[in-house]
Structure 1
Amino acid sequence: MTPSDFYTDRLNGPGPRLHDKLPQATAGGLYSLFKTKAHAHWLAQHFPEHCDDGNGVCGTDLGALWSNVRALVPQLREETPYGLELTQEDGVVFDLIEYAAERVAKPVQGPWHPYMKHYELTFAETLGRTEFRKDVNQILQRGGTTYELNREGQIVRLATPEVQQVLDQLKPASGDTELDGLLSRSKELYLSRKADDRALALEKLWDAYERLKTVDIVGNKKQSADALLNNIASTEFRSIVTVEMKNLTDLGNQFMIRHHETDKHQVPEEAQDYLFVRMGSLIHYLLKVSNRLS
């Protein structure tokens, strides 16, 4: 079943994806999906239980699996002795999903072993990972979250249409390796599921902006910025961009983007998209008018 198979999606269209924090039902659904796949032998290729009467795989060594999970996801909260599931932190749930995405393979029943009464298992890795990804993304979509599991098996944050437009357009070819690297790193970080990474992406974006203002005339930032602005043919629009550049410079100095002194203000998490789009759009425009886009 895909998201469009649900009645409400067919009637009203898919719901908005607004939640940066997983709703409890979504987190629980992902955790249950992991456990269900584990018990259904989707992880048996990596943690096989071998038949006592031969070398075939007949199931999953759950003890080995869970020992490995505890070692690699140490923040996992164990269930109570009565089997009650404890609420897992979002990061733990995502770590479990990425752990599984790297290891799942769909079990395929082979010959029936009449004496030991089980099927010998083989595994369809590509098919299993594709189906697992679809299951995960259905839960994330139906929960209205801003996340998805990508083809590389990583949970990433979905960009809003406005952010995605900036990401698609911002393809620098400035001739300045440092500037281009800062922009590429910012784009990469901004799709992270971690708010701290997105904050770092803003820092890299502001660093790129400050670097861009210095590439025309090395050693004189003001003259270099003026030279950059002179690429704008319209005098009236150049004045508007000049004001925008000053406003964004002031914003970067007043908020904890590039500076972290005690008198700086915290950037609200919900403002990150707005700031990324605003600064990214300015940089894209300045690169475009100065012929520095690929």
Structure 2
Amino acid sequence: MAKVPYSIRTGINPRTNGFDLKTTNGLFVRLYAQLDKEGYTHEHFGFWCVDMHDVKGKVVDVEFTALMTLRKPDLWPIADKAPGYSEDDLFDMIEFLFDHVSKPLSGNMHTYDQCGMHWETFDKGAGQREFRKRVNDLLALYEHRFELSADGLILRQTPSGFEQLLDATVPTDDKTITARVKAAVNEYRRHGASLDVRRHAVSDLAGVLEALRPKMAEAITSNDEKDLFNIANNFMIRHHNDRQKTAYEANLWLSWMFYVYLSTIHLILRRVELRKPKRNPGDLVFRERMER
């Protein structure tokens, strides 16, 4: 682990809490230049050759594609436009690049005039993993806490202590539950998510708990169960009527409810999994022999 500089440890560094947007944009320009030089953008965006000049990649017109995808003009080329990006612009472009990077694997060295490598084979998954790592190193220095997910989405950074919960696989073979939980987590953590959007995500987790209600007795007490659904049903989460309680600080309480519901879902599913009878490998071998 890198040593934290003295001025940051003592809090006297004016950037102890991170870089502002202007500085972060400048670092992004330099990060993109590094990736381009190393060939991570060549498969899709092409490259410059001293003999062939502008060699096209899979994306023939990058500016047009970025405009059609992001519905924003004046984001390309990065070297010229990124210094003036808004936070939304920066995050949109990071997600756009995630979909268009790939790690160069093999090619031919063009030695004339020190032209460089002409890459021919690429690995998209490996490129995206490397891109994510470098971008998250950059975002870790930004004054507002965000990160790029493995799916290529900019999300709110996980609060300290909850990383394992959000990274954990939902312990069930039910694809519907897995999909609903994943969608709710992404919706809650999405960049720019409003209180209404986050409230909807909490409501979705409450819906998953509702589906798991018959199994709750295996994991929690009946009083805990009542409290969980009392919050969901009477605090403007799942219902909207005159009887709802609204006198609470929504931003803080929604965060609390989100992590309580998410951890309860994991608890119930893991308890159910632990109570399943364990299979004897010998029984499986015997059954296979009998079926031959």
TM-score range, shorter chain: 0.5 to 0.7
In structure 1, stretches of 5+ residues that fail to align are 13-18, 217-227, 233-237
The count of residues paired between Structure 1 and Structure 2 equals 254
Cα deviations by residue, 1:114-173 (Å, 9 ceiling, x for unpaired)? 5xx844632674475454333211111223654333445443444342463377485246
Normalising to structure 1: TM-score of the pair?
0.61
1:122 alignment partner in structure 2: 119
- Cα RMSD after superposing both structures: 4.8
> 1:64, CA displacement in angstroms?
2.5
SS in 1 for 2:42: coil
1:273 alignment partner in structure 2: 255
Counterpart of 1:280 in structure 2: which amino acid?
Answer: L
In structure 2, stretches of 5+ residues that fail to align are 11-16, 277-292
1:258 alignment partner in structure 2: 238
2:109 alignment partner in structure 1: 110
Identity over aligned pairs, percent: 21
1:223 alignment partner in structure 2: none
Normalising to structure 2: TM-score of the pair?
0.61
Counterpart of 2:210 in structure 1: which amino acid?
Answer: E
The worse-fitting range, judged by mean Cα deviation, of 159-168 and 186-195 is 159-168
SS in 2 for 1:278: helix
Q: Aligned equivalents of 1:267 and 1:150: distance in 2?
A: 28
2:133 alignment partner in structure 1: 134
Counterpart of 1:201 in structure 2: which amino acid?
Answer: A
Is the contact made by 2:44 and 2:58 (CA closer than 8 Å) also made in structure 1? no
Is the contact made by 2:171 and 2:269 (CA closer than 8 Å) also made in structure 1? no
SS in 2 for 1:165: helix
Q: Aligned equivalents of 2:46 and 2:166: distance in 1?
A: 46
> 1:77, CA displacement in angstroms?
5.3
Pairing 1:1-294 to 2, within 5 Å after superposition: 4=2, 7=5, 24-25=21-22, 27-29=24-26, 31-33=28-30, 36=33, 40=37, 42-48=40-46, 53-54=51-52, 64-75=61-72, 85-90=83-88, 92-105=89-102, 110-114=109-113, 118-119=115-116, 121-122=118-119, 125-126=122-123, 129-143=128-142, 146-160=145-159, 161-162=161-162, 164-165=164-165, 168=168, 171-172=171-172, 181-182=176-177, 184-192=179-187, 193-194=189-190, 195=193, 198-213=198-213, 215=214, 229=217, 241-261=221-241, 264=244, 265=246, 268-286=250-268
> 1:275, CA displacement in angstroms?
0.8
Q: Aligned equivalents of 1:33 and 1:260: distance in 2?
A: 49
- 1 or 2 for the larger relative contact order (CA 8 Å, sep ≥6)? 1
Counterpart of 2:225 in structure 1: which amino acid?
Answer: M
